[in-house]
Structure 1
Amino acid sequence: MREIEVLAPAGSFDTMKAAYKAGADAVYMGGPMFGARAYADNADAGQMLSAIDYAHLHGRKLYMTVNTLLKNTEIEGQLEDYIRPFYEQGLDAVIVQDLGVMEMIHTLFPDMAIHASTQMTVCGTDYGKWLRDHGASRIVTPRELDLSEIADMKQQTGVEIETFVHGALCYCYSGQCLMSSMIGGRSGNRGRCAQPCRLPWTFHSDSREKSGYLLSPKDLCSLQLLPDLINAGVDSLKIEGRMKKPEYAALTAYLYRKYTDLYLTGGREHYHVDQADLEQLMDLYNRGGFTDGYFYRHNGQEMMSVKRPNHSGLNIGQGRINRRGEMEIQPMKDLGAGDVLELPDGQSVKLDKAVSVGGQLKVKYTGKPFKQTCSVMRTRNQSLIQTVAEQYVKNSDLKEKLYGYVSISKDLPARIDVYYRDMHVCSEGAIVQPAQKRPLTEEEIRRRLMKTGGTPFEFDQLEIFLEEDCYMTVQELNQFRREALDTVERAVLTPFRRQQPSILQSSNDSRKREKRPVSISVLASSRAQVLAASKVDGISRIYFNYEGNDNLAVEAAAMTHGAGKEFYLAMPFILRNDTKKQCLSKIQKLKSTTDGFLVRNMETLLMLRKAGFDQPCISDYNMYCMNDRAGRVYEQMMDQMTLSVELNRREIAGLQSAVNSEMIVYGYQPLMVSAQCLMKTTGKCTKEPGYYELEDRRHKKFLVHNVCAFCYNLIYNSVPLYLMDVLDEATESGIGGVRLQFVNETGDTVRAMAEACIRALQGERVTAAGDFTKGHYKRGVE
């Protein structure tokens, strides 16, 4: 029978134990550094080492998150020493986002499994194959992939496939979000996301205006889809929630293990999910109900929880206001003491007694009166929480069953043979003495040896051979037991222990950081912008945002070449199976018009090279290069790179790969790339690209662009980046070029910003007039 892993989240050691007891085959958890949930109750180094042993003693696995982007000082000065003790202890795998981290771990610790995080945005099989060939044994698929794409990934790559099946959905493609970073200084790429997407927003277009939690998806629940997921080739069913409590990890692990086994043993014919189990999950946590995610759709209103961004509970009945101003509730579910109900005015009521179905409950209501009945939600099921806690959390220690055979004979060492799984170990104790007064009894030996206490073991069977008139002290019997159990534990754990191979690492980059002429490029999105940029003498290259607009791309290329400048196509941010073939067909027709490509994902780069395009390729900012190791990975494939917008001036100055990189010095920064469509969320999709506005609670307005040709939305920052007044300092780092990026600005703005950039590079002090940001150039990210 095929083995399917249930993978639970663990924000702490206690959560890990609860998840294992509930049925999880593996957990993923963060250590004290470099995890994407910096605010979870992450394990310290000692706890992490203990957690690895705990998992292996009970036949489970533990994966550690190293799924953030690392800076040079971290990857060179800290990463190896950080990973080494966990590797030597027997860590099963690391989950990584940073290509530099992946390269370093694969080189230094070649026999440890590497899982490519969902933060890598692996949307296509070519990228999946590349990751496989560079050390990844597992791919954590983006939440946005449908079942056919997941099946294709499995079939084409042959690696293990891990897919999120339950918990929170991000609005943005994971790894492509800078919203928290740019507007709040807390980077999701560094594990510190503040979740601004869960706040209220207002959408404005020419035809509509709508407010709500427009960027807040419902939680994912895939219990009913498990047969389809397993048949698509998913090997590991991943539950989201490292910030959640142990009860959450335990109940979700239990139910996903239960229904996975139900399908594996009974097939689809006997597969049915009990409504009571779904309601338990609803009681535990949901946002506006559950969604089955992207497995059968690209996006949709039904996936969004626009009325509230937090736990909405379970509908337990209807309520109405009586003449006394009380709310009378007719429960459809049994209610218990300690349950919390939420009334229509937002008031929470904690019950002090149980109420059965058919009974009546009256509670004080202080909100605005209404005549009709309304739904009443239970946001805390106290009985459920207590039951899960008693069963899995409070008594979470697992016990492994042993079979023992004890032999005690005079003048010989006491001996015990222990059998566990397919393992046999033998342990000896003190020399058995002839009894002077009271001889040992089988009952006393059994009582002493069965006291396995705080160990991970207990004797399921214990056979005893006892010669007559033998004697051992209580201390000798206790020591005999301890040594036997220690021997078993060593036998279980020793095969997992490793020693780091001796590998000479050279991280020095000998390139000289010489100041040299800095090129200027422009990223344009319209004909007017291309025309304006082509007339500015100091600009050497124009990138044009390609969105399937072939005729406009040809015209833009002609204008650019007519002005003696290089023309590059700026490729889509996301390339999926359903758009890849169409994109390649269109790009092949434009091959003779373009001098190169600005690529925003590995899938595009590999597609171009596989199709025989030999023009230069430049990676954009979202192909993150925060350290020189990542830079060297990219330099093997790219002709040039774009600096990460989360680096500050000191970090740029310390980055050797900056000499072959462009730096963005002006423009509205994309904050999110989403498979969702705000036009569709707030009404109907027009299937026509356009620009719209999102307004936050502080009345800042963020530009939204729906890219219909590739079916994603871009959300831009509310103010543009402006670094022209610090270019003298920035260019001291030896960067190869600077870039000005334009979205919907006029040609006059293009010309003004380009001229300002030229003057700044000539040494003139050019200050900004208007509302701008310096992004992370000064502050950086933690």
Structure 2
Amino acid sequence: MKDKIKVPEILAPAGSMESLKAAVAAGCDAIYIGGSRFGARAYADNPEKDEMLSAIEYCHLHGVKIYMTVNTLLKDREMDELYPFLKPYYEAGLDAVIVQDIGVLKNIHEWFPDIEIHASTQMTLTMGVSDKLLKKYGVTRMVPARELSMEELVQMRKDTSLEMEVFVHGALCYCYSGQCLFSSMLGGRSGNRGRCAQPCRQQYLVDGKKCGIGEYVLSPMELSNLPYIAEMIECGIDSFKIEGRMKRPEYTAFVTAMFRKYTDLYVELGKDGYRDYIKTNRAEFENDICHLKEIYNRGGFTQGYLEGRSGVPFEKKKYDSGVMLSAKRPKHGGVLVGKVISVGKGSLRYKLDKDIYPQDVVEFCDKNMRQEYEYTVGTHLKAGMQVEARFKKGSRIFAGDEVYRTKKAVLLDDIREKYIDKEKKVIITGKFEAHTGENAVLQVILKDIVYSVSGDVCQNALKNPADEKSVKKSIMQTGNTEFEFSTLDVTMDDGLFIPVGMLKKMRREALDGLKKKILEKHRRSVMPCDEGEKVKEYLTGESEKELGKTTEYIVSVMNMEQLSAVLDFKDKNITKIYLRMEILDDNEINHAIDEIHKNKKKAFIVMPQIFRKNVWERESAVLTGKDSSYLEKCDGFVIKNFEEYTFLTEKCMISSEKIVCDAQMYVMNKSAYDFWKENGITKFTMPFELTEYEMDGIAKKAGCEFILYTHIPLMVSAQCVRYNTKKCAFSEKKGINEKIILTDRKSREFMAINYCKYCYNIIYQKTPLYLKEYEDKLKDKGISKFRYDFTFESIEEVKTVLSGKYNGIYDEGHITNGVE
């Protein structure tokens, strides 16, 4: 007897209605799509209200769920628009919303309690331990960070009862999702607000030089976990999520079809049967992978994160540097189809390894994968042939250069014919009965939904009586409707007169009724707060302004030298010192706390930027072990993610009153503040992406801290610039916490540091944020707690900044300009 298999949902992206219909035709179980507001793909062809309502209807008619992305950070001025925006979709039966902002999460749960909420990958969830906190606010599913290994996903499945939705195919960000400020700080286009300009796909010099692996050192390859379908099903993943709301409908359709195919094969054949099938049909599997590459790939595909290739201790596994990067080419790379064998004046010859077809696009690339020339093929050319082609003057093409196909026209045509050009119908069955002296009856049936209509009373025919064939023909001609009959059972007396007009009317009424009945199953009634009472309450809520309170200064340090400089700076208004854990070892932290207390200041521990399973285990041993002494000695903790909240409050039994939310927790609006207040935290840090005018609503909160000086962390990555461009510092035992300068094409410089203690990279803006001149304005808003965050500053630089004498180049961030 086969074990019962939990069949994962195939979740497809839809950046347009055409993509949505293509995904449904290809066999998806659910769609995720952005509306006209609040989605993380602001530049997709997102539908407006009427089209979104049509999308909800279309999906529900086809038995497909539909989730809306509401996964951006909202500012206070936008929160009043959220309720009227979501209300019609909620009433139409929208199945779930995908959310990043905890203020949005709180309000949606309060305003629309019957809708499911999915915690977005933008929340940077790396473990399942915080599910109790999320469940309180209606979260039914979490989308883990894409950086997790199979081992971590297995553990997460054990730790949480929430559904797990895992990305299985598509683009990878260099940064942990939700932790990226690169696009925002450089050009005002915030990735947290759906407008990422993709600085990770740009060229960078490394320490002033071109890098040997390529110039696109922040550009990951494309993800495809198709080879790991069996392991993910066995892990208990609930939903296979395909990335690609900005991609074309053909991409959506084909990727969906491939994951549908192999998921269904596993369900049909079982654990051993599926693996046997893949072994014996390897050529078929490789061909499908090749077709996926033809549709879109960056430097091929990677399963690196799933295999634990980064973000975990390197003593476990070692890999070649750059193994997950498409460092030579940041866009679609196509498929290798041949090689140049000779080059003459204006023409060349190349030999084909694969067939190419009419309207295929082939390009000639140099050794660095730079395109030199491309053209469209006009005829079918077979593998093994030598082909002569002319090329554009000035193209640098040499014998040995590779030839790639970047568009396989016959594949795209086939996909379009199967899934796009012909709209999928809803398959129904029917029953028609007609008896002398009784009303004709037509039933239309979709699974457990039945709708019946009655026609006229049936009379005997004077001539030309109806027969079963003619009746079926009239009823089964569904034309432009959404439905198509698979079968129609006809039971009728002989010799009856059955008008064709009556049959067509019955068919029309039956299909209209069935459609209405299907959609009614999903519709919800109007909420009690229909007139917007909750919104009004939100907009007029009480503030907690603390004008006139003594100004406090807080200083965050990375090492003992910086601490020494701060303690030497005798300023009674420096009340707290934050100790970051990336560089300091446990003995140094203990000693630092003692020194801080001797100087009559409070000592806080700043928790790691990312808190994965291996970090949880390490800090559990340190903070709750017999030899630990600083857990109780320190005065508080600064957290950067959900896992740390759970770790401190449940594992370490720390009172939430001792916790401060750092800027990465994105308390962007009053509702986000209320979320944490309800869970015992009233101290938070102002996020970097608010202007002086946008922060009014939360600046008045008593626990607000404002960072006056820092090098803004633009990216936090499981990738490592040093490892990918040189060697692993951890395994070499040198170069740990090394500073590497990245320079972009506009000569702007950034600092990448590999924090080997926790195996993550942080890329900082080299030019510091310095807002001392805004201090009086900020005090007028009610802010009384100001912070200096030091990273790689020297003792002298620390003293200069604290003394107010810093006059170097600095950046005002977006306190004046804001971000989109």
Tell me which moved more, 440-449 or 736-745. Answer: 440-449
Q: Deviations over 1:262-288 (max 9, x none)?
A: 122223432415111111011111001
- Structure 1 vs Structure 2 CA RMSD: 2.3
Structure 2 match to 1:755:
803
> Is the contact made by 2:7 and 2:233 (CA closer than 8 Å) also made in structure 1?
no
Q: Secondary structure at the match of 2:86?
A: helix
Determine if the alignment matches structure 1 residue 188 to structure 2 residue 191.
Answer: yes
Structure 2 match to 1:319:
340
> Is the contact made by 2:208 and 2:742 (CA closer than 8 Å) also made in structure 1?
no
Determine if the alignment matches structure 1 residue 612 to structure 2 residue 653.
Answer: yes
**1:307 partner amino acid:** K
Structure 1 match to 2:733:
none
Tell me which moved more, 185-194 or 127-136. Answer: 127-136
- CA 1:478–1:32 in structure 2 vs 1: closer, same or farther (change >3 Å)? same
The Cα of 1:600 is off from its aligned counterpart by 1.1
**1:309 partner amino acid:** P
- What does 1:400-549 correspond to in 2, within 5 Å? 400-409=426-435, 412-431=438-457, 440-467=466-493, 471=497, 474-502=500-528, 505=534, 506-507=537-538, 508-516=540-548, 517-534=550-567, 535-537=569-571, 538-547=573-582, 548-549=584-585
- Structure 1's unaligned 5+ residue stretches are 757-765
The Cα of 1:237 is off from its aligned counterpart by 0.8
Q: Hey, what's the Cα distance between the residues in 1 that align with 2:790 and 2:566?
A: 11
Q: Deviations over 1:259-318 (max 9, x none)?
A: 111122223432415111111011111001111130112425211111110011101122
> Is the contact made by 1:92 and 1:113 (CA closer than 8 Å) also made in structure 2?
yes
**Aligned match of 1:628 in 655, 670, 673?**
670
Q: Deviations over 1:4-35 (max 9, x none)?
A: 11111110111011011111111111111110
> Is the contact made by 1:403 and 1:462 (CA closer than 8 Å) also made in structure 2?
yes
Q: Deviations over 1:103-162 (max 9, x none)?
A: 111222222111111001111222234223432111111100111111111111122111
Structure 1 match to 2:689:
646
Structure 2 match to 1:594:
634
Tell me which moved more, 470-479 or 587-596. Answer: 470-479
**2:575 partner amino acid:** S
The Cα of 1:674 is off from its aligned counterpart by 0.3
The Cα of 1:498 is off from its aligned counterpart by 0.9
The Cα of 1:619 is off from its aligned counterpart by 0.7
Determine if the alignment matches structure 1 residue 142 to structure 2 residue 145.
Answer: yes
Structure 2 match to 1:670:
713
**1:378 partner amino acid:** R
> Is the contact made by 1:671 and 1:717 (CA closer than 8 Å) also made in structure 2?
yes
**1:199 partner amino acid:** Q
Q: Hey, what's the Cα distance between the residues in 2 that align with 1:270 and 1:108?
A: 50
> Is the contact made by 2:128 and 2:156 (CA closer than 8 Å) also made in structure 1?
yes
Structure 2 match to 1:394:
421
Q: Secondary structure at the match of 2:18?
A: helix
> Is the contact made by 1:643 and 1:658 (CA closer than 8 Å) also made in structure 2?
no
**1:681 partner amino acid:** N
Q: Hey, what's the Cα distance between the residues in 2 that align with 1:370 and 1:191?
A: 40
Q: Hey, what's the Cα distance between the residues in 2 that align with 1:204 and 1:552?
A: 31
Q: Hey, what's the Cα distance between the residues in 2 that align with 1:753 and 1:454?
A: 71
How many residues get paired? 770
Q: Hey, what's the Cα distance between the residues in 1 that align with 2:213 and 2:450?
A: 68
Q: Hey, what's the Cα distance between the residues in 1 that align with 2:541 and 2:207?
A: 50
**2:610 partner amino acid:** I
The Cα of 1:466 is off from its aligned counterpart by 4.3
Amino-acid identity (%): 38
**1:422 partner amino acid:** D
Structure 1 match to 2:42:
38
**Aligned match of 1:228 in 228, 231, 242?**
231
Q: Hey, what's the Cα distance between the residues in 2 that align with 1:344 and 1:209?
A: 17
The Cα of 1:749 is off from its aligned counterpart by 2.5
Q: Secondary structure at the match of 1:288?
A: coil
> Is the contact made by 2:699 and 2:783 (CA closer than 8 Å) also made in structure 1?
no
**1:511 partner amino acid:** S
The Cα of 1:554 is off from its aligned counterpart by 2.9
**1:772 partner amino acid:** Y
The Cα of 1:353 is off from its aligned counterpart by 1.3
> Is the contact made by 1:129 and 1:156 (CA closer than 8 Å) also made in structure 2?
no
> Is the contact made by 1:109 and 1:500 (CA closer than 8 Å) also made in structure 2?
no
> Is the contact made by 1:204 and 1:210 (CA closer than 8 Å) also made in structure 2?
no
Q: Hey, what's the Cα distance between the residues in 1 that align with 2:762 and 2:245?
A: 28
Structure 2 match to 1:723:
771
Tell me which moved more, 247-256 or 560-569. Answer: 560-569
Q: Deviations over 1:611-642 (max 9, x none)?
A: 12347111100001111111111123324100
Tell me which moved more, 129-138 or 685-694. Answer: 129-138
- Structure 2's unaligned 5+ residue stretches are 311-320, 731-735
Q: Hey, what's the Cα distance between the residues in 2 that align with 1:143 and 1:310?
A: 20
Q: Hey, what's the Cα distance between the residues in 2 that align with 1:462 and 1:375?
A: 58
**2:293 partner amino acid:** M
Q: Hey, what's the Cα distance between the residues in 2 that align with 1:575 and 1:65?
A: 25
TM-score (norm 2): 0.90
Tell me which moved more, 659-668 or 605-614. Answer: 605-614
Q: Hey, what's the Cα distance between the residues in 1 that align with 2:797 and 2:701?
A: 28
Q: Hey, what's the Cα distance between the residues in 1 that align with 2:214 and 2:256?
A: 36
**Aligned match of 2:743 in 684, 695, 706?**
695
Structure 1 match to 2:315:
none
Q: Secondary structure at the match of 2:129?
A: helix
**1:312 partner amino acid:** G
Structure 2 match to 1:763:
none
Q: Hey, what's the Cα distance between the residues in 2 that align with 1:222 and 1:208?
A: 28
Q: Hey, what's the Cα distance between the residues in 1 that align with 2:194 and 2:210?
A: 38
